[in-house]
Structure 1
Amino acid sequence: MLKLYQIERPEHADLSRIEPSDLLRSFTFSSNLATQDISGDNSTSSTVASVIQQLHGSPAQRTIIVVAVQEEHHTSIYPTGELGLEMLPCTDHPVPGSEENTLGYPVGYLEIDVPLQSNLSSIACDIILDAELQPLPAEQPSDEARECIRFLLESLPSLAEQLSRPIIQLWKLMPAEPTPYSLFLESVIHDQDFIQGLDEIQGYVPAQDYPIAIPEGFESLTYYDHTPPHDIVDSLLSLFNQAAYDIPVGTLSRKPRPWTRERLEQTAETTRRRGNQVVSTVLVHQGKAIAFSEASRRADASLSVAEQSFTLVLREYRGKNLGTLIKTLCITEALRRWPHIKRIYTEMATYNAAMQTVNNQLGFTRVASIRAWEKKLA
């Protein structure tokens, strides 16, 4: 019998004072394995420390992990959480009475991101098989794996209702070429009345120096860790607000909320607290931020990789090759701060021809696809 549990939120994110539970380690390993099987690259793997930080949350988002457990007999001894599920410890500290109560074994997980500053009607989810059930690329998924995926998908609407979020967005990293498992996933997601809204290409550009020529009348500046110079903050916030509407999301629902100085300060504080690093490059014209590109590295990331968040040019400045310019400036500054990086991962919508042109000029290599489906609850 399959049963859902929620992993508790840690009181803090100081790993020196936390011994993660075996269940949390299993989730982290399973998530990394699923990604590596598709990308063939373990340099983008997460650690338990970063998962704990996600569970602890930030002003922008909190993450909930739900686990499906295969069990025969179980007596309820755990407290019930906001989803109406029993809460399992995220640490190895035992719950009184748990020694005599065999929980069973995990078969799959839901990773649910709950945005707190925009898109307040939706949740963003990923569905992950436990490592023991993940098929090899050429293998058909087992009956137990199929049962788990269906069970988790069928459970999502009730969990979204508990969170008062009527829109479910399901995001999956998919192989560039279909596999038996990816075909099964797409079929069963469709059967649960999810509608595909976005298809993205994921890959990387090499981290190297590119020829750069800044047009007369423009200047570039770089700042670190979400702390821009005060004199461009207002125009930068306007650029971010435009990005919230212009970044391609296909037919997925979105309800952005305005960027403010407080929100920017909260983002900087989260970056500092987690030990992450960010390089942001801005193109300025007549004292105003008109183009932006950003790269980041998690504190626990491989030295060889960074990640691109977004690149945007103000609408009235487009068509002048400024997208390529600002991205190459960002890569140059990223290399200056992180001289060991070799690749910068990025993704772009399949219909975003302008960004595909920019990335292809920089030697983009495709690795995988990212697909997103949406389901609106009645």
Structure 2
Amino acid sequence: MFVHFDRPVPGWEPADGIRTLVFLANLAAQETTGDTASSTSTERLVHRLVGSTVHDVLALALIDDLPVPPGSKLSDLGYPLVPATGDDDTELVDDAEGFLLLGLPLQEDTGVVEVEFILDAGYLPIPGEVLEAEGKHVIHRLLAEAERVARVIGRNTLQTWLLHSPDEPAGTGEFADLLREYGYLPGLTEIQGFVDIQSNIATTAIGESLPQDASLRAEIIRDLCVPEALIPGLIELYRLASVEVPHGSLDAEPVEWTPRRLHQAAKRVVTTERSMLSVLLIDDSGVIGLSEVTCHPGSDPDVLEQGITIIHPRARGRGLGLLLKRELLHAVATELPAARRIYTSCASVNSAMIAVNEALGWRVLSGGSGWQKHLPTV
């Protein structure tokens, strides 16, 4: 049976079940990549479970068929509730066989459920070994429950991601075979890795990588606190990125950015305790480039997460993408000095951005594949 993590209580510590979920997710990622750069944190998950106006997350745990304590509260979906924060006296999650995180976009892609399934350590295959039948059975139960929830809440598209070693071709392996058996189809492949900061700033100072053009300058933005005059140009780039960033055959609707939405996003940066750093490239025509990174609460301060990097079409073909990312690295060294590297993920078809990352000494850690299943309408 499954239990449902309740909404977090602000200011309370994460419950043991949440800590276990995060530990297992990180264990699986680190066994694949051999690195901690792709790890998440309990604080980050707790903020995700709080939800927002643009995205919500449901967290479920698959447990043995233990008796539910009398008087247990039930969630809106009918599951027994267990706390996401504070003490958990039920002990229902102590021996969970697996976990489900179900992401629910609330403004665009409202027919999609983003599925992340996490196995207990006892079911994870040792590198080089096969996935045992018991582990496959748990995965099938998790995928079946994700599909059941999607039907209950009226969504008909399931999307999930697999992480694999850089040497393993995308779409191969036992986990990929299980997804195919369950009706998922591959839609996009990615490459993940990190860029070292110090090795990229040793030879030039901030601003020196830009062409000696009086009309070209870089503007550093902290936590999306954007000067009023730059908001229209930034919004245009966000809209453009939502269309141009490769999605393959995965369903993805364009994001309708507005000044109000940007303001709300800036407020969420604060409420979720993130540190966000953006560099805008500007010329006489306005904002022509954006590159940004984020430091999430509870995460390793050595590692930042790369967000969008985009050059406006009117400024492409001049090598500004590489220059912009170099400016970002210099800004990080100044504004977030604890950081040592930037974890970045890039679609394998995005040859231009791959070339930029390789020019910065990108070290590949893993590959990823996005999968999708459409449920038949009833």
Q: TM-score, normalised by structure 1?
A: 0.91
- The residue that corresponds to 1:326 in the other structure is 324
Question: 1:225-284: CA deviations, max 9, x gaps?
Answer: 011111010111011111110011111111123101111111111111222111101111
Q: Contact 2:193/2:365 (CA < 8 Å) preserved in 1?
A: yes
The alpha-carbon distance between structure 1 residues 304 and 245, as it changes in their structure 2 partners (threshold 3 A), is: same
The answer for the alignment partner of 2:281 in structure 1 is 283
CA contact (8 A) 1:29 1:131 kept: no
TM-score by length of 2: 0.91
Could you tell me whether the CA contact under 8 Å between 2:37 and 2:343 is conserved in 1? no
**Cα displacement string for residues 30-55 of structure 1 (whole angstroms, at most 9, x for unaligned residues):** 11111111122235533322221111
Alignment of structure 1 residues 170-181 onto 2, 5 Å: 170-178=160-168
Corresponding residue for 1:24?
18
Residue 296 and residue 130 in structure 1: after superposition, are their counterparts in 2 closer, same or farther (change >3 A)? same
Q: Which runs of 4+ in 1 moved over 6 A?
A: none
Give 1:177 deviation, angstroms.
Answer: 3.0
> Does residue 1:213 correspond to 2:210, yes or no?
yes
Contact (CA 8 Å) 1:120, 1:255: kept in 2 or not?
Answer: no
Q: How far off its partner does 1:309 sit?
A: 0.6
Question: Is 1:299 paired with 2:297?
Answer: yes
Note the alpha carbon deviations across 1:308-353, whole angstroms, 9 max, x for none: 1110011222211111111111111011112232211101111111
**Alpha-carbon distance in 2 for matches of 1:6, 1:76:** 16
Task: Give the drift of 1:73.
Answer: 4.9
Relative to 1, partners in 2 of residues 1:358 and 1:19: Cα closer, same or farther, differing over 3 Å?
Answer: closer
Q: 1:125 aligns with which of 82, 100, 115?
A: 115
- Contact 1:21-1:92 at 8 Å conserved across structures: yes
Give 1:215 shift. 5.0
Q: 2:2 aligns with which of 1, 4, 9?
A: 4
Task: Choose the corresponding residue for 1:71, options 55, 65, 75.
Answer: 65
Q: How many residues align?
A: 367
Q: What is the aligned counterpart of 1:373 among 348, 368, 371? A: 371
**Deviations for 1:285-304, whole angstroms, at most 9, x for unmatched residues?**
22511111001111322232
Counterpart amino acid of residue 272 in structure 2:
R
Equivalent residue for 1:154, pick from 122, 139, 144: 144
Distance 1:147 1:366 in 2: 32
Deviation at residue 60 of structure 1 after TM alignment:
2.5
One-letter amino acid of the counterpart of residue 220, structure 2? T
Match of 1:139 in 2: 129
Residues 219, 283 of structure 1: 8 Å contact kept: yes
Identify which of 301, 308, 311 aligns with 2:309.
311
1:105 Cα deviation after fit: 2.1
| Cα contact 2:42–2:298 (8 A) shared by 1 | no
How far is 1:164 from its partner?
Answer: 2.1
Query: Percent identity, aligned pairs only?
Result: 26
Q: Judge conservation of contact 2:274–2:297 (CA < 8 Å) in 1.
A: yes
Does residue 263 of the first structure (1) align with residue 261 of the second (2)? yes
1 CA distance for matches of 2:87 and 2:330? 46
Match of residue 345, structure 2, among 337, 344, 347: 347
One-letter amino acid of the structure 2 residue matched with residue 302 of structure 1: D
Change in Cα spacing, 1:110 to 1:222, as seen in structure 2 (3 Å) is: same
Counterpart AA for 2:354: Q
| CA distance in structure 2 between the partners assigned to 1:237 and 1:103 by the alignment | 43
Deviates more, 1:313-322 or 1:205-214: 205-214
CA distance in 1 between partners of 2:178 and 2:194 (Å) = 30
What is the one-letter code of the residue matched to 2:100? L
Give a deviation string over 1:57-80, Cα, whole Å, max 9, x none: 222212211111123555674333
Moved more, 350-359 or 204-213: 204-213
Give the 3 Å change call, closer, same or farther, for CA 225–103 of structure 1 in structure 2: closer
- How far does residue 187 in structure 1 lie from its aligned partner after superposition? 0.3
SS at 1:160 equivalent: helix
Q: Structure 1 pair 19/313, CA: closer, same or farther in 2 (3 Å)?
A: closer
Structure 2 vs 1, CA of residues 57 and 137 (structure 1 numbering), >3 Å: closer, same or farther?
A: same
5+ residue gaps, structure 1, are none
Q: CA RMSD, aligned part only?
A: 2.2
